With several copies, the nearest count.
Chain A
């Protein structure tokens, strides 16, 4: 019965063949210390290190981890290590370090206790037991992590394509008014024409009006002079519009036509 339950436990932890020897699956780790020599390397590789090997030996012998029989475990462990050495396997340093730790614990247990009491702090096994328990938890957690549903194996992310009418939004860069002003200043200075371009607010509004007038005069159609003036703008507006028109005429961009004396004046953009 004991064998059976142990068998089950091993199978749950290791559902896959433990190792292949001469093409045959070995379904569990070796029953006792006897290991077929050609399997040793494979078996050694199946352990994640000395703690894993120790855990295996402890579980195998059904020892209570909290009451670790260091002498027996050390003997078994050392026999494995000796076997590895005999076979000239490249033995990871970690296994030798663990052997040294076990030997030290064993020798300290042989020394007479300095005082009475069962103080765990004085038990040379305490640190090893703590490490074994911690490693066992890590090992268990890694197995649980492996069982979690995961992408690529258990779940696949569902996605739809965005319709092709969807164009990515482009966020335009911000421009500060100062940047604009400084850019103008820089351009004018570079042109060495700074002193020839006295830009005043009046001229600017005239220039703005020039653009507006041209914009209204699309094509070569004539528009009545009066259409460019509105009472709401007041006297200043009238002056700006008039100055803009004069400027446009001066720059040969505008034709002013008066058919009769005192007749309506018509305006159009000049064409060649």
Chain B
């Protein structure tokens, strides 16, 4: 078996770990890419230690996990790397928009009261989504049996719609006008009615 110098060994181990589909352990390295070379366990351990040190200040680092060695990104970079997997969430359903509208216009309001107006139950998913978006929050509890949560809109909601206060929400008078221009609004926004999906 041929000898391999330290630099070559490091290059080969480094490249192997980078291109392998899954982590490589000592045995996989020894019996795989290093099979043709005379390499002691000590040499391999030293090589891996050096690689670990080489990469410590870099954007990716050599780590040992249960099934072997692999390179992974520096955890401090995660918030920025997240942008590589940006995902566009689907448009809100009609049920979602109506729930939000009722909370905005009729707050503080319980889920039961929203269900009364809409005539259908409001799924937990809707309340959760709107809460996670930071648009609604529980502002209290109604003193009726079960002490249901009372929902109201947040400052984040006002900010999103560029409103200084809820008083700036279009009033009923404006509805008539909006209703008349409904078609044009929908067309302008590229929103044919069937796009507003009912879950």
Contact = CB atoms under 8 A, between A and B. Distances in A.
A261 interface: no
Interface in B105-125: 105-108, 116-121
A187 B169 CA distance: 16
B27 interface: no
Nearest to B185: A178
Contact of A145 (B72, B75, B97): B97
A146 interface: yes
Contacts of B159: 151
Contact of B101 (A145, A161, A170, A269): A145
A137 B139 CA distance: 24
B1 interface: no
Interface in A231-272: 251-253, 269-272
Interface stretch (A81-89, A192-200, A221-229): A192-200
B86 A149 contact: no
B149 to A, nearest CB: 11
Contacts of B85: 166, 168-169
Interface in B28-47: none
A208 interface: yes
A270 B88 CA distance: 42
A207 B106 contact: yes
B151 to A, nearest CB: 8
Given A173-B92, A270-B143, A94 B120 contact: yes
Interface stretch (A57-65, A72-80, A110-118, A209-217): A209-217
B119 A158 contact: no
Interface residues of A, number: 92
A142 B162 contact: no
A133 B178 contact: yes
A141 B19 contact: no
B73 A158 contact: yes
Given A137-B174, A156-B78, A163 B18 contact: no
Contact of B82 (A130, A149, A150, A169): A169
Contacts of A48: 94-95, 98, 118, 120
Nearest to B162: A149
B165 A205 contact: yes
A272 B147 contact: yes
A158 B18 contact: yes
A43 to B, nearest CB: 14
A204 B102 CA distance: 12
Contact of A157 (B71, B88, B97): B71
Contacts of A207: 105-108, 166
Interface string B155-199: 000011111011111111011001100101101110100111011
Contacts of B199: 93
A151 B19 CA distance: 11
Interface in B60-99: 60, 70-75, 77-79, 81-92, 94-95, 97-98
Given A97-B198, A214-B108, A163 B101 contact: no
Contacts of B48: none
Contact of A253 (B101, B140, B163): B140
Contact of B19 (A146, A149, A158, A198): A158
Contact of B88 (A137, A171, A214): A171
A199 B92 contact: no
B87 to A, nearest CB: 5
Interface of B: 15, 18-19, 60, 70-75, 77-79, 81-92, 94-95, 97-98, 100-102, 104-108, 116-121, 133, 137, 139-143, 147, 150, 152-153, 159-163, 165-172, 174-175, 178-179, 182, 184-185, 187-189, 191, 194-196, 198-199
Interface of A: 48-52, 92-94, 96-98, 101, 127, 130-131, 133-135, 137-146, 148-163, 165-173, 175-188, 190-191, 193, 198-202, 204-205, 207-208, 210-212, 214-215, 217, 251-253, 269-272
Query: Which 10 A-B pairs give the minimum distances between C-beta atoms?
Result: A211-B152, A93-B198, A214-B140, A184-B101, A49-B120, A208-B166, A158-B18, A183-B97, A168-B85, A166-B78
Given A170-B89, A201-B169, 12 more contacts: A49-B120, A137-B174, A148-B170, A155-B73, A156-B72, A158-B72, A159-B18, A160-B60, A183-B97, A211-B107, A211-B152, A253-B140
